Structure 1
Amino acid sequence: MADRLPVTVLSGFPGAGKTTLLNHLLAHGAGGRVGVLVCGAQDGQTLAPLPPGCEATVLPSAEALLAETARLAAEGRFDALLVEADGLDEPLAIAEGFLFEAEHGAGPEAAVQPDTLVTVIDAATFLRDLNEAEFLADRGLAQGLDDDRTVAEVLVAQVECCDVIVLNKADLAGAADLAQLHAVLRALNPRADIVQASFGKVPPERVQGTGRFDFEAAADAPGWLAVLRDEVPTNNVSGVSTLVYRRRRPFHPQRFADLIHTEWLREHGSVLRSRGLFWLASRMDTAGDWNQSGGVCRHGGAGAWWAALDPAEWPADTAERAEVEADMQIGGAPAPFGDRRQELVLIGLDMNQAALQARLDACLLTDAEMAAGTEAWATYADPFPGWVDEFDDDHDHAHGHDHDHGDDCGCGDPDHHHGNHGDHPHAH
């Protein structure tokens, strides 16, 4: 099988400096025949003169990327490809497209291999944007009427699953701010190599030809997942810390709904990112999926708890089944309600962890409510929207935390998030 054409993907929010980095790499890279693909119209974009053997193509949209890379790979004219993604694209999704094309496209002779996923961030604006609830539509960036993503959600998606983070415009941030930025980025993605830069001046070998890309590793890279696997410390560094909230008692649905309509994520420090599973007493079969980036959180159905399924439907693979069985136990003894649990990771600045835990604990069933039993729990007021149609019981379940966004934190109102803060209707 012919060697696949290596591709470096430059991602990053508009204005972060992707084009500046691209021009630097073309001028100071390793040379050779490099094909350059630029997705969509980039604001203020000006490509520098290309070195000999290089060729640039501006694509009308990200959708044209796969077909163009396959065509260039099949022609065999280049040694490598450099892709400047659209400012709202997620690097892992692009890599997944390349891998799918390699398996199902024109054949191995026309395949590309992701080499390095690079995300460029703006050191002067990243934390501010991550801490807000500004929607893409507020900046005129939404990709269609149904694109309800926030700036923070795009930033998190670009940072959590990349191989290299270029902390650009570092000259615009002070030493303390840079230290805090490094700590936040390390908490969001402990696997990534962080390269500090100004004007996109990065040693080319840090972002090209690194061979760092591995799909499984990238998919497992988010810091919240690493924390759940006990792979990274949760120490306080430059004010950045991580809280793991685990309980084997359900939330009262009304009390939890009431909590998430308050400013609780801003009242005890600033929670920048939180993710995980939650258990409502009124929904014994279905796990809740919690997903918060900056000022907006989303919740929905994560799928069935393993305990709600017949053991015959559990994984046949020995290792996977052992994980399921381990989730069914507490301290080596069978858990009263199987794998049902609260399992949330919170990453933030200056967090008062005891206060945050106390707010969540107040939503748990009391001893008296626990004693009332599941039939009583089913009658509790539950303002959350229905999750029945959000998953297929034959395929989706709560194990593994691999879920899509659900409903916004508004308990059914898609226009409500965390109440008002200043003049922004969707902020914490």
Structure 2
Amino acid sequence: MPSRVSSKKAAKKASLPPKALPVTLLSGFLGSGKTTLLQNILKTDHGMKIAVIVNDIGAINVDASLINKTHRLTQTQEKVIALQNGCICCTLRGDLLEELVRLSELQEFDYVIVESSGISEPEQVAETFDARLADTMSMVADGPEGLDPGVRKALKIIKNAGGLERLAKLDTTVTVIDAFTLFHDFDTDDMLSSRRDDVMPEDERTVSDLMVDQIEFADVIVLNKTDMVDADMRKRTLQLVKRLNHRARILETNYGKIDVREILNTGLFNLERAQTGYGWLQDLHAMTLRQVNGKNVVTPKPETEEYDVQNFVYTQRRPFHPRRLYTLLYDKFILQLEHPDDGEEEEEEGTGMSDASDDTEMEDDIEAEEDDEEEDDDEPINDAPPDNSIILANKRNDPLFRRLFRSKGEFFLATRPQQAGEWSQAGAMLTMTGGRPWFCTLPEEDYLTGDAEIDRLVKHDLASGGEWGDRRQEIVFIGESLDVKALEAVLNGCLLDDDEYVQWEAIMRGKFGKKGSKSKRKKAVDPAHLQEALQDLFEDGFPDWPLPNEVLTVDHAGHSHA
């Protein structure tokens, strides 16, 4: 009996491939040349055995007789598994797992290329390979009852093998970019559904948003159709792509012709680095590191100024006045803001934070400070965004924003001192939503990572902010011929002025009373009431954000999306 058990174990081990199949994930917009690139790979005899997994075989349109005999072309029907681990963004591509298990069992191929659909973020597919999801995948394999049988079988094989990384590993992410249309796609309000007829409501987003995601996540960027642009445009395009993703290798080509070895088995992919190592964030980290190391060099390196494509990091410790910030932006960018469910917040706010006498006391205490603001309340403000066509025209004609392609970072509103705002702009689209809690509002154990270097940077940010901790404006801007001083000036004009800042600090410290009074009292203020007092003082027309504890996702089944 023992010998039979040991022989079964040996057979199971023998069925595992000698090494995991290296997988290349290929992304790109419709019309970028992604399909042509795949056709070239399938028809070329390059001495490698490659399996290609696509979404639509018909779109590839390669005669079976022309496909090199060492290759294999298969199509999958998407089967998405939502992971029940409290993290809404984690989904597994069950169809992809099935095919990868099948190819691993065949042991006939050296490499796999997976075509990402033209409407999906590459990160969503890449998460399927995240080794940190192994435990969750094992749990899914044992349930639920409605799971597709083929997917269940694949998950059990993966579980028995010791994880997907024993069968297949994501090795390289590639994005194909159309050099001819790149700048146009930064200057459009097109939604994905305007260019494709297979976009589901949950996948709807702007063309510029998805394009930026695909560029920033890539290890290798294939800049296609370079013969359709002149030398100057080619230089501009190259520099912008380098700006958006410092770490990516860039291959220039026409008709999708590349040496396939440039995108296979490169060993470049690292999920954690890809999620946090975008070009704009690298600049931010470099600046912070130079500050920590005691150097005053916070400007970009000289080589980044080539061809007038540049970036700069806007940093300020004072908060923005919400009304002035909105007034600056609403008619120059198509704003994507939070849309919380109506009524939920109001119902919850009335329950037991503090008694009614505290509310009355706070209102009485700041009444004198509000007198100076009342004349502004009497003036009607027309803040309804104009039509998108007008916003696009305004941005194109604005001397500061017309050549601003990308910006991303965190912003700090005077009325929301507990929570950072997330700022992400691509072309004409600007998304402004609620983000993480400021670390200074949390106990150390909630934000320290255990990584000495990262924790040193976090502690530096907290200490350098003094009384108000890590609260700050920190946004990276990328564009052509940016007037940095003028851009800084208009943003600084949205900050609280000196008088407003004095009032803000008084409320933050829990001190209330008539201006100039020597007898001020201090008391602990509930965060909800603090925000209410600040919003009474500074008009805030932004939609409500999810509560900070709903946004901070420190650990989801062993992996982070923070």
Aligned equivalent of 2:301? 233
Distance 2:308 2:273 in 1: 27
Distance 1:162 1:316 in 2: 26
User: Cα distance 1:311–1:213, how it changes in 2: closer, same or farther (>3 A)?
Assistant: closer
Aligned equivalent of 1:244? 313
Distance 1:168 1:393 in 2: 38
Aligned equivalent of 1:415? none
Question: TM-score normalized by structure 2?
Answer: 0.66
User: Cα distance 1:378–1:101, how it changes in 2: closer, same or farther (>3 A)?
Assistant: closer
User: Cα distance 1:218–1:396, how it changes in 2: closer, same or farther (>3 A)?
Assistant: closer
Give, in angstroms, the shift of residue 278 of structure 1: 0.4
Which of 36, 40, 44 aligns to 2:52? It is: 36
Aligned equivalent of 2:171? 115
Give, in angstroms, the shift of residue 29 of structure 1: 5.6
User: Cα distance 1:61–1:47, how it changes in 2: closer, same or farther (>3 A)?
Assistant: farther
Mapping for residues 163-202 of structure 1, pairs under 5 Å: 163-202=219-258
Q: Does 1:286 align with 2:428?
A: no
Q: Could you say what secondary structure the match of 1:317 adopts?
A: coil
Query: Amino acid of the residue matched to residue 377 of structure 1?
Result: L
User: Cα distance 1:326–1:36, how it changes in 2: closer, same or farther (>3 A)?
Assistant: same
User: Cα distance 1:7–1:314, how it changes in 2: closer, same or farther (>3 A)?
Assistant: closer
Mapping for residues 24-423 of structure 1, pairs under 5 Å: 24-28=40-44, 30-40=46-56, 43=59, 45-47=60-62, 49-61=66-78, 63=93, 64-100=95-131, 103=134, 104=137, 105=155, 106=158, 107=161, 108=163, 111-141=167-197, 143-230=199-286, 233=301, 235-263=304-332, 266=396, 267=398, 268=400, 269-315=402-448, 317=450, 319=452, 320-330=454-464, 335-374=466-505, 375=507, 377-379=534-536, 380-389=538-547, 391-392=549-550, 395=553
Give, in angstroms, the shift of residue 38 of structure 1: 0.7
Q: Is the 8 A contact 2:419 2:548 kept in 1?
A: no
Query: Amino acid of the residue matched to residue 62 of structure 2?
Result: L
Aligned equivalent of 1:410? none
Unaligned runs of 5+ in 2: 1-15, 80-92, 138-154, 288-299, 334-394, 508-532
1:312-333: per-residue Cα shift (whole Å, max 9, x none)? 5342626243222111133xxx
Distance 2:117 2:70 in 1: 24
Q: Is the 8 A contact 1:240 1:348 kept in 2?
A: yes
User: Cα distance 1:355–1:42, how it changes in 2: closer, same or farther (>3 A)?
Assistant: farther
Distance 1:393 1:201 in 2: 43
Give, in angstroms, the shift of residue 205 of structure 1: 1.9
Give, in angstroms, the shift of residue 59 of structure 1: 2.1
Identity %: 34
Distance 2:551 2:318 in 1: 23
Which stretch has the larger CA shift, 104-113 or 208-217?
A: 104-113
User: Cα distance 1:213–1:359, how it changes in 2: closer, same or farther (>3 A)?
Assistant: same
Q: Could you say what secondary structure the match of 2:222 adopts?
A: strand
Unaligned runs of 5+ in 1: 405-428
Give, in angstroms, the shift of residue 15 of structure 1: 0.9
Higher Rg of the two aligned structures? 2
Distance 2:62 2:249 in 1: 26
User: Cα distance 1:29–1:41, how it changes in 2: closer, same or farther (>3 A)?
Assistant: closer
Moved beyond 6 Å, runs of 4+: none
User: Cα distance 1:312–1:21, how it changes in 2: closer, same or farther (>3 A)?
Assistant: closer
1:318-357: per-residue Cα shift (whole Å, max 9, x none)? 6243222111133xxx623110000001111222112211
Q: Could you say what secondary structure the match of 1:343 adopts?
A: strand
Give, in angstroms, the shift of residue 308 of structure 1: 1.3
Q: Could you say what secondary structure the match of 1:236 adopts?
A: helix
Distance 1:299 1:394 in 2: 16
- The root-mean-square deviation of aligned C-alpha atoms, in Å, is 2.6
Which one has a larger percent strand, Structure 1 or Structure 2? 1
User: Cα distance 1:393–1:262, how it changes in 2: closer, same or farther (>3 A)?
Assistant: closer
Give, in angstroms, the shift of residue 161 of structure 1: 1.0
Aligned equivalent of 1:408? none
Q: Is the 8 A contact 2:435 2:551 kept in 1?
A: no
1:20-65: per-residue Cα shift (whole Å, max 9, x none)? 111222334632332111124675x312521112221122337422
1:109-139: per-residue Cα shift (whole Å, max 9, x none)? 8621112211111111111112222111222
Which one has a larger percent helix, Structure 1 or Structure 2? 2
Q: Is the 8 A contact 2:418 2:441 kept in 1?
A: yes
Q: Is the 8 A contact 2:57 2:74 kept in 1?
A: no
Query: Amino acid of the residue matched to residue 308 of structure 2?
Result: G
User: Cα distance 1:328–1:286, how it changes in 2: closer, same or farther (>3 A)?
Assistant: same
Q: Could you say what secondary structure the match of 1:69 adopts?
A: helix
Query: Amino acid of the residue matched to residue 249 of structure 1?
Result: R
User: Cα distance 1:84–1:388, how it changes in 2: closer, same or farther (>3 A)?
Assistant: closer
Q: Is the 8 A contact 1:42 1:86 kept in 2?
A: no
